[in-house]
Amino acid sequence: MKYAITAATGHFGQLAYHYLQELVAVKDIVVIARNIEKARELFAGADVREADYDDKSSMTRAFAGVDRVLFISSQPGGPVPRETQHQNVVDALVANNVSFVAYTSFAQADKSISALASDHLVTEHALIASGLPYSLLRNNWYLENEMGFITAGASQHATSYWASGRAGWALEREYAEAAVKVLVSDAPKAIYEFSGSVNDYEALGLALAQATQEKITVTKETLAEYVATFEKSGLPHDLAALFASFQSPIDEGSLDVVSTDLADILGRDLTPLPAALKEILARN
């Protein structure tokens, strides 16, 4: 059995490889990446193959002889639209008649109003139409996405936010480990709503205070005030607005998804927020 990880040199891919090599022999792992030199450094002993989502023929070659694939979604905003990139991958999977594909999607992609969900939904439809056996791994929010909130609170004892909703925050490594467990599963579900327990920014601030053992002031700002806070730190307006937009899926309710799928597939409770935040701070 050959297991492949796409976009393997990205952080999620590296985490997935770490967990996969604990479950299967390294010789049975195929890592697929654009940067072949970096991949060879990171994944010594694995079958490293060069391929690019922009190039369907390279993806088709890379999947040769592969049975199961962890299809990690690309980053949006490149010269080739993500819909096209992902269709290239699906076409390459079909051409090789792989036996199973697990795709990292977005929380409740089929009903979400988030702009981030649209490309994922197109990809989900492409996978369903392909006829290949699949699992859709609808990931909620990585706790690491909140580094600005976390580092400001830990270093300055004051932090802020603007979004009113809730998110299912969990550590990125927990999402990656769960993805790998689905990849090797004998009877995977078609859809997983992977989420931590849902919390708002006030709860995240309280957890941060517990993690640091410090009193931390958490302030809710308007969106305009939040952008202005970034600008005061020296960021140009467009970049400040981009960083502020990362909270939009939370404010619109797209990440308020209650599900035990993540803990269930891991077979254990998720890391509590204070401990998870302590872990993140220890890395930085």
pLDDT attached to residue 61:
98
pLDDT attached to residue 275:
98
Distance CA 80, CA 89 (A): 13
Distance CA 116, CA 57 (A): 27
How many other C-beta atoms lie within 10 A of the C-beta of residue 37? 11
Amino acid at 22: E
User: What is the residue whose two structure tokens read 């939904």?
Assistant: 121
pLDDT attached to residue 136:
98
Secondary-structure breakdown of the chain: helix, strand, coil percentages, each rounded to the nearest 5 = 45, 15, 35
Distance CA 213, CA 256 (A): 28
pLDDT in tens, 115-144: 999 999 999 999 999 999 999 999 999 999
Asked whether 257 and 107 are in contact (CB, 8 A), the reply is: yes
By three-state DSSP, how is residue 206 classified? helix
Asked whether 2 and 65 are in contact (CB, 8 A), the reply is: yes
Distance CA 7, CA 9 (A): 6
pLDDT attached to residue 177:
98
By three-state DSSP, how is residue 32 classified? strand
Instruction: Please choose, from the candidates 80, 175, 76, 73, the residue with its C-alpha nearest in 3D space to the C-alpha of residue 126.
Output: 73
Distance CA 28, CA 183 (A): 13
pLDDT attached to residue 143:
98
83 is written with which tokens?
């819909």
Distance CA 234, CA 240 (A): 9
pLDDT attached to residue 76:
82
Q: Please tell me whether the overall predicted TM-score, pTM, comes out greater than 0.85 for this model.
A: yes
User: Residue ranges of the chain with pLDDT lower than 50?
Assistant: none
Is 266 exposed, middle or buried (CB count within 10 Å of its CB: 0-12, 13-18, 19+)? Answer: middle
User: What is the residue whose two structure tokens read 């999947």?
Assistant: 63
Asked whether 177 and 192 are in contact (CB, 8 A), the reply is: no
Side-chain half-sphere exposure of 162, counting CA atoms within 13 A: 18
pLDDT attached to residue 59:
98
Please provide the DSSP assignment of 102-157 as one string: EEEEETTTTT---TTHHHHHHHHHHHHHHT--EEEEEE--BGGGGHHHHHHHHHHS
pLDDT attached to residue 78:
81
Distance CA 265, CA 38 (A): 31
* Residue 202: partners with Cβ closer than 8 Å, 6 or more residues away: 218, 220
Is 137 exposed, middle or buried (CB count within 10 Å of its CB: 0-12, 13-18, 19+)? Answer: buried
With a pLDDT cut of 70, the percent of the chain lying above it is 100
By three-state DSSP, how is residue 170 classified? strand
Asked whether 152 and 243 are in contact (CB, 8 A), the reply is: no
